[in-house]
Amino acid sequence: MRSGKLVVAQIGAGKFAEYQDLPNISSLPQLALKWICDLDRARAEELGARFGAEKVTSDFREVCADPEVDLIKIATSHEIHLPIIECAAAAGKHIFCEKPMAMRDEEAWKIMKAVRKNHVKLCVDLNRRMSPALQALKKSVYDHLANPRHSPWRYIETRREPLPEEEFKHLLIRIQDESSSYGLQHVDPLIGGGEIIGESVHWLDVACWFFAPARPVEITAWGSSRLSHGINLKFSTGDDMTLTFSCSGTFDYPKELFEVTAGNALFRSEFFVENTVYGVPGAEKPEYFPMKHYSGAIKAEGFAAYIAKYRERVSGFGGNQKEIETSHPFEVDKGHLNMWKAFTQAILEDRPSPCDELAGFQSTYLAQLAIRAIECRQTLPVPVERFVPAIFLR
């Protein structure tokens, strides 16, 4: 700690660090950035100068050895998480790790062990659960189920008890991805592992968070573990999540679309900017969520306005739009800053992490199981003893 602030070191200074972590760290008064570490030292120096880091290095061990550092943020490629976390935990540092926490469940067990043995806190950046739009979606579903109201013109069965399936909740997640977001490193088997392990850990985590305390019991998956795929995850309550992930889509449609059907109503969230409810009287008005970064002229909110803002931003740029990312920050609120805030508070007030090592393990484990389900074309059980492992600390 320095003057009441947590001293932070950033390990991995790539695109994500530049557009999320370092601006988020700079915006929080409880944090003081001390180190930036990247294998590419010139890159660490460039970002260090821009974000005011006191020290740069290309060796993460140097960061872990600094007694002043309280919190280490990891935004490297995935394969190196385990050695960094083991080193950081042994030095008593708290750790905020990018998703996926690990590429294999064995690595994830070792991470859980290192963190618990050394009594440090770990947070995994499965940030969607912290987005204002998904938190509001979850609240509106459970509020409705606690006090169901139905449009008078809808036919709702009142003359018999509902059949069990009529009370199941269904979560549909549709992802339209573009290659700008899954560069080749993300599909490299050694450092990326493909889109199920790299990206779908997000949606597996959203499903577990949404249906908690129910536990997943069965998984089916199809397609390619590297790119387009689908997953169905069933819960102990009969609820389920179905994911369709397409790498041939377009961000002009909601890149991420969430739909819940429950209690004879439908709740939809379009790319973190607009939530709509169907079938509940008095809830017809869409709820809008502000973007995290946008500095243009369009004042309206909601998904149509988001697309108009997107077009405004890219107009005037010809050809491939990838380079625009670097010059025009433009982003919906997917919960990254909220995760930073919640984890910072958890450390300062000694409270549980908002997305701890068990959640990190479980999303990795389910992603591995989905890959196995694709490879053997089988529906697989999610055994409780694998989903909630016993960790023996010695």
Ligand X SMILES: NC(=O)c1ccc[n+]([C@@H]2O[C@H](COP(=O)([O-])OP(=O)(O)OC[C@H]3O[C@@H](n4cnc5c(N)ncnc54)[C@H](O)[C@@H]3O)[C@@H](O)[C@H]2O)c1
Q: Which of residues 53-72 bind ligand X (CB under 6 A)?
A: 60
Q: How far is CA 239 from the centre of its chain?
A: 21
- Cα–Cα distances in angstroms (integers) from residue 344 to residues 2, 18, 338, in the given order: 14, 19, 10
DSSP string for residues in 244-282 = EEESS--TTS-SEEEEEEETTEEEEEETTTEEEEESSTT
Q: Which residue from 9, 24, 43, 206 is in contact with ligand X, where contact means CB under 6 A?
A: 43
Residue 80 binds to ligand X (criterion: CB under 6 A): yes
Binding piece for ligand X, criterion CB under 6 A, among 36-44, 262-270, 325-333, 384-392: 36-44
Residue 75 binds to ligand X (criterion: CB under 6 A): yes
Residue 82 binds to ligand X (criterion: CB under 6 A): no
Judged by beta carbon, residue 264 or residue 363, the one nearer ligand X is 363
Residue 175 pairs in a beta bridge with: 245, 256
Binding piece for ligand X, criterion CB under 6 A, among 77-85, 130-138, 213-221, 340-348: 77-85
Q: Which of residues 102-161 bind ligand X (CB under 6 A)?
A: 125, 127
Residue 171 pairs in a beta bridge with: 241, 260
Judged by beta carbon, residue 28 or residue 39, the one nearer ligand X is 39
Judged by beta carbon, residue 15 or residue 139, the one nearer ligand X is 15
Q: How far is CA 32 from the centre of its chain?
A: 24
Burial per residue of 222-256, b for 16 or more beta-carbon CB atoms within 10 angstroms, e otherwise: ebebbbbbbbbbbbeeebbbbbbbbbebebeebbb
Judged by beta carbon, residue 58 or residue 151, the one nearer ligand X is 58
Q: Which residue from 16, 109, 142, 310 is in contact with ligand X, where contact means CB under 6 A?
A: 16
Retrieve residue 150's tokens.
Answer: 């139905």
**Dist CA 304 CA 10 (whole Å):** 36
Binding piece for ligand X, criterion CB under 6 A, among 14-22, 218-226, 229-237, 294-302: 14-22
Q: Which of residues 365-384 bind ligand X (CB under 6 A)?
A: none
Residue 198 binds to ligand X (criterion: CB under 6 A): yes
Residue 11 binds to ligand X (criterion: CB under 6 A): yes
Q: Which residue from 179, 185, 345, 379 is in contact with ligand X, where contact means CB under 6 A?
A: 185
Residue 77 binds to ligand X (criterion: CB under 6 A): yes
Q: Where are the alpha helices (DSSP H) in 335-393?
A: 336-348, 357-376, 384-387
Across the beta sheet with 71-74, what order do the strands follow? 55-57, 31-37, 6-11, 71-74, 94-97, 122-124
**Dist CA 274 CA 251 (whole Å):** 15
CB of 51: closest distance to ligand X in angstroms? 15
Q: Which residue from 31, 47, 87, 98 is in contact with ligand X, where contact means CB under 6 A?
A: 98
Site for ligand X (CB under 6 A): how many residues?
24
Q: Which of residues 263-292 bind ligand X (CB under 6 A)?
A: none
Residue 11 pairs in a beta bridge with: 37, 74
Contacts with ligand X by CB under 6 A lie at: 11-17, 37-40, 43, 60, 75-78, 80, 98-99, 125, 127, 185, 198
